[in-house]
């Protein structure tokens, strides 16, 4: 057993702090992006995020696309399609139910991948999986705050659910695209997303008053850097030093960070019942990882 504060603890502290920084960066960027909804809506914010990510990642990766070939690039191209749908669905959910709740519902996607793909076949493991799934669903029910008597925002929850499905698809496709060298897969995915969304973005930008355009472009760049370019790079480096199981468990920081930045940036205050729902979904993820994998 390692002594507290020993070399092992210090070695682990850096990557853990990096994952916390990555999660905070993603959700801070999402919060900044949400402030632009009145000008360009969820689609415009999604498109700006794709453009900034593509420029930053292509500048870093400089992938030799002509030597790789389309067949090997196909998973990355499909990943780009999924990224656009996932980000648009999430921002549409955030517009309706807020950042903290939208990200928490979206988080059911990677949780489902962790539960279904664990590979455990024992009765005990199946029971643990079922318990984690039940806890996550209970969390979603609490998010709707049924005790408040208010009608839940069905469209917002539906967009969040769509984002969850697409996040699960993103994880599966990312494994295929990850066989490409460096960050080539992510760079190609961002480029694909840019090609798909740029025409619509141009139309939206032409409708923005000239005096507001510099403000919009500046915050759009901040959104892309914080939500995509910076966390993608951090996660790539962290996964070289951290076991995937621990990395998966720490993804529970995303709903917490979303609730925090939703409050700080967007003044979105959540009720006690909704906070309990977020906690339940995060706990389900932690328990799922602990039940199915041993953290080395």
pLDDT in tens, the chain (296 residues): 444 445 555 556 788 898 899 999 999 999 999 999 999 999 999 999 999 988 888 887 777 766 776 777 788 889 889 989 999 999 999 999 999 999 999 999 888 887 776 555 677 777 887 888 899 989 988 998 876 666 778 999 999 999 999 988 887 787 676 667 667 777 888 889 999 999 999 999 999 999 999 999 999 999 999 998 888 778 777 876 777 777 777 888 999 999 999 999 999 999 999 999 999 999 998 888 777 654 44
Which domain, by its residues, includes 202?
13-292
Distance CA 187, CA 270 (A): 36
Query: Which residues are CB-neighbours of 42 under 8 A, at least 6 positions away?
Result: 88, 91, 92, 94, 95
Measured from the Cβ of residue 91, the count of other Cβ atoms closer than 10 Å reads: 26
Q: Is residue 29 part of a domain?
A: yes
The verdict on residue 151 lying in a domain is yes
Whether 4 maps to a domain, the answer reads no
Residue 266 lies in a domain: yes
Residue 118 has what pLDDT?
59
What is the model's pLDDT at position 296? Answer: 45
In a domain, 123, yes or no: yes
276 part of a folded domain = yes
Tokens 């995303």 correspond to 254
Q: Alpha helix (H) ranges present in the chain?
A: 7-34, 37-61, 65-68, 70-97, 99-106, 108-116, 123-143, 154-177, 184-206, 213-224, 230-238, 244-250, 253-266, 272-292
pLDDT of residue 293: 58
C-alpha to C-alpha distance for 48 and 33, rounded to whole angstroms: 9
Q: Which pLDDT belongs to residue 3?
A: 46
CA dihedral sign of residues 234, 235, 240, 241? positive
Number of structural domains the chain divides into: 1
Q: Is residue 52 part of a domain?
A: yes
3-state SS record for 96-107: HHCHHHHHHHHC
Residue 260's pLDDT is 95
Residue 220 lies in a domain: yes
- Report the pLDDT value the prediction gives residue 292, as an integer from 0 to 100: 63
Position 2 scores a pLDDT of 46
């Amino acid at each position: 057993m390692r002594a507290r504060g020993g070399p092992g603890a210090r070695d682990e502290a850096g990557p853990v702090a990096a994952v916390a920084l990555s999660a905070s960066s993603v959700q801070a960027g999402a919060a900044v992006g949400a402030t632009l909804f009145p000008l360009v809506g969820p689609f415009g914010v999604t498109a700006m995020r794709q453009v900034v990510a593509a420029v930053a990642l292509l500048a870093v990766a400089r992938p030799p696309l002509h030597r790789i070939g389309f067949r090997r690039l196909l998973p990355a191209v499909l990943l780009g399609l999924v990224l656009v749908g996932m980000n648009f669905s999430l921002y549409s959910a955030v517009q309706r139910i807020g950042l903290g709740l939208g990200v928490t519902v979206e988080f059911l996607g990677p949780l489902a991948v962790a539960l279904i793909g664990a590979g455990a076949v024992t009765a005990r493991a199946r029971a643990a999986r079922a318990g984690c799934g039940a806890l996550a669903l209970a969390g979603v029910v609490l998010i709707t705050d049924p005790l408040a008597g208010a009608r839940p925002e069905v469209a917002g929850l539906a967009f969040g659910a769509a984002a969850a499905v697409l996040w699960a698809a993103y994880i599966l496709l990312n494994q295929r695209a990850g066989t490409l060298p460096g960050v080539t897969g992510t760079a190609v995915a961002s480029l694909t997303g840019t090609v798909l969304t740029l025409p619509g973005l141009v139309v939206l930008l032409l409708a923005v008053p000239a005096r507001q355009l510099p403000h919009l472009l500046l915050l759009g760049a901040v959104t892309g850097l914080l939500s995509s370019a910076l966390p993608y790079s951090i996660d790539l480096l962290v996964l070289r030093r951290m076991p995937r199981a621990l990395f998966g468990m720490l993804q529970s920081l995303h709903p917490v960070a979303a609730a925090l930045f939703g409050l700080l940036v967007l003044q979105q205050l959540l009720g006690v019942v909704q906070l309990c729902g977020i906690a339940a979904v995060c706990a389900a993820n932690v328990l799922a990882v602990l039940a199915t994998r041993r953290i080395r």
